[in-house]
A and B are shown apart, each in its own frame.
Chain A
């Protein structure tokens, strides 16, 4: 017998799927934006930096509302995506993933940007004099050196996505099996008299997942950092 009820299992798996997809899908864009913020010049850099950080300071409900306006069935972006690719966000798990990705994006970009800024550009110059093109320099020097930061950023964004509630419930509501992630399930359980034990069990699951993610990120980052420093 599974220790988790079907409803609990459904919320957990949905949360993992939504958060995993959110992180994996936003990682390449996050890396590009972080590179640009770290190395770019010009007034546009400041504007993009502010835009990226917006979800961090806005009330999540407001972010969810903006998402609904833009990515809803009738929204300017949502309508185009629906017609062109049949991709619908509103009231689907994909919408939950989008909300999670946007809420986690500032944390991901910030961690990666700090890692990129810590890379010694003189090493990249040395690689260029050895014949490596810009892409080769990135793949063989920059990326290995920033890998701990990239992983840290991904884990942070994952943890943020696992806990995302306000923007998600505003944007895609709270549909069992579709958009009822762990936080939404906890909230729902608390609304029903007598369901407090379920809320408590879900809360424990949330804490366990968050801690596991934290330890995994510490472990991987240490391993990679040690390899880069040449400690082994």
Chain B
């Protein structure tokens, strides 16, 4: 658990924010310039805020009131920077081992061989950073931070500088990071990345906290759709793989009934996270028939928020705390008579697998 409260005035821009990052992956989400990097720099101890408090696993690292400031080298907070920041005069092996000698005796964390294997950087060990690709640099930077055995890991958009294929190459490694049990604060302005990785989402807007909570709740919040953008907004729902059917479609069971997926692991029992864009959801009061769309879930309208562009964002509860977010027009809200408590069917034009290996029981 990481508890953060920070206030800093930069003249034109001021930051004033307080949040908690529980175990698991916490995404710090916000547009460029929202103050995300300022927050993690203060958490890492690279900058001193005007006022603030940072507590990591019960240890006070910063408390301006009590005049406590732990320097960055004694915070044991790993930091993966946006630009890798590998040491150019050291080979990959020496880069990876740079922080290992400073880890206290008894500090827990994955060992060298495990990190090298997990990140697939074995063939790079004797190389110099200058000869590495962007994706390779990012992986070495992650390994280097892990091997200093931090109690918390900060990641400042390690994927932002990479093109889409490189990003796709790294994401699985970030997912494997979850297995190490290390709490992570992951900065991102990519909704897809957040939907895929985060357990908890903290939304930052112009230096202030906009919202914070479990990923499923935040992503399905109709009032936050403007923050994520009309094209990207959409909920994530949990499902469990049942298995492939004769025609190749894979059946998955959700809180509100079955879904059929075209691309999913065919491993019965696997818990998966599905992402449904709000613009891919059609709402219907009557159970629709004669549609090409296969996936129809029924639920209850829980909340409706209208925005300035005449759109309405609807949170449709599916039971067991799961929910979908639908983007429709205000006219449709009136025509269908939608209001909180009204039962409704959701036709899903497309369902994407956001994440596998959620582990059982999630």
Contact = CB atoms under 8 A, between A and B. Distances in A.
A39 B108 CA distance: 36
Contacts of A144: 89
Contacts of B73: 128-134, 136-137
Given A130-B99, A131-B102, A131-B148, A123 B71 contact: no
Interface in A178-201: none
Interface in B94-143: 98-99, 101-103, 127-131
Interface in B158-200: none
A145 interface: yes
Nearest to B47: A125
B262 to A, nearest CB: 43
A122 B86 CA distance: 10
Contact of A129 (B44, B87, B127): B44
| Range of interface residues on A (Cβ < 8 Å) | 20 to 34
B251 to A, nearest CB: 46
A132 B98 contact: yes
Contact of B46 (A120, A128, A136, A230): A128
A127 B46 contact: no
Given A128-B46, A130-B145, A133-B73, A123 B85 contact: yes
A122 B141 CA distance: 14
A100 B83 CA distance: 44
B46 A229 contact: no
A131 B103 contact: yes
Contacts of A208: none
Contacts of A133: 73
B265 interface: no
B88 A230 contact: yes
A131 B72 CA distance: 7
A80 B72 CA distance: 44
B79 A129 contact: yes
Nearest to A141: B87
A227 B44 CA distance: 31
Chain A binding surface SS class = helix
Given A229-B130, A230-B130, A231-B130, A129 B46 contact: yes
Nearest to B141: A126
B102 A130 contact: yes
Nearest to A144: B89
Contacts of A127: 87, 98
Interface string A121-162: 011011111111110110011001100000000000000000
A216 interface: no
B132 to A, nearest CB: 9
Nearest to B84: A126
Given A128-B71, A128-B72, A129-B72, A122 B98 contact: no
Contacts of B127: 230
B222 interface: no
B77 interface: yes
Contacts of A126: 79, 81, 85, 87
Nearest to B72: A128
B240 interface: no
A4 interface: no
Contact of A130 (B88, B91, B98): B98
A92 to B, nearest CB: 41
A150 to B, nearest CB: 14
A224 to B, nearest CB: 9
A228 interface: yes
A132 B144 CA distance: 13
B89 A145 contact: yes
B113 to A, nearest CB: 19
A141 B85 CA distance: 12
Given A132-B73, A133-B73, A140-B98, A122 B89 contact: no
B88 A131 contact: no
29 contacts: A122-B81, A123-B87, A125-B72, A125-B85, A127-B98, A128-B72, A129-B73, A129-B77, A130-B73, A130-B78, A130-B102, A130-B145, A130-B148, A131-B76, A131-B102, A132-B98, A132-B99, A132-B102, A140-B98, A145-B88, A145-B89, A227-B89, A228-B88, A229-B88, A229-B128, A230-B128, A230-B129, A231-B128, A231-B130
Given A127-B87, A130-B102, A131-B76, 14 more contacts: A123-B88, A128-B71, A129-B45, A129-B72, A129-B75, A130-B98, A130-B145, A132-B73, A132-B98, A140-B98, A230-B130, A231-B128, A231-B130, A232-B128
